[in-house]
Amino acid sequence: MTRTIAFLTAAEGVERVELTEPWGAVVDAGYAATLLSPASGPVQLFDHLDQAATQDADAVVADASVEDYVALVLPGGVANPDALRLDDDAVSFVKQFVASGKPVAAICHAPWTLIEAGAVSGKRVTSWPSLKTDLVNAGADWVDEAVVVDGSLITSRKPADLPAFTRALLDSLAEAT
């Protein structure tokens, strides 16, 4: 069985710590991490609204297969998930991943992509507070908690929740592998 975690982002607008902290945690736990994006090349990371580092995408999401990964992480940032939910290949990959029953972890604004993938109806979730209405309108039960695990879906609100988010992700990986 694979021990590779897929991280899916758009080419820009990714909240740096929401990518790098879970990435570091899964690598430290002995997993491999792969950055998927709709296009090859650099992904621009941000510290809130300020440009930070870049990280090169390892693969294009259109070429990715769910079978090659044990889990999917969707980092936030406002622009990142907004762009992803407009990309048919990204949305299709998320739909397939959710259908696989493998862990899917989304933080901050990333549940916008889950909404587009039809993955939140009937699920208990959390997110950045401004997404509450969108999630409720999509059929989710939104709660204001640091981390929510509903089956294979893991959601968190913001960077301050990263310790709880990462712990829940690692716990789900331990169960899945």
Cβ atoms 34, 69 nearer than 8 A: yes
Of the residues 109, 123, 157, 158, which is catalytic? 109
Cβ atoms 169, 162 nearer than 8 A: no
Residue carrying the six token digits 């310790």: 163
Q: How far apart are CA 102 and CA 115, in angstroms?
A: 17
Cβ atoms 105, 168 nearer than 8 A: yes
Q: How far apart are CA 39 and CA 136, in angstroms?
A: 31
Q: Catalytic site residue 109?
A: yes
Q: How far apart are CA 155 and CA 126, in angstroms?
A: 6
**Torsion angle of C-alpha atoms 18, 116, 84, 131, degrees rounded to 10:** -40
- β-bridge partners, 58: none
Active site amino acids: 109
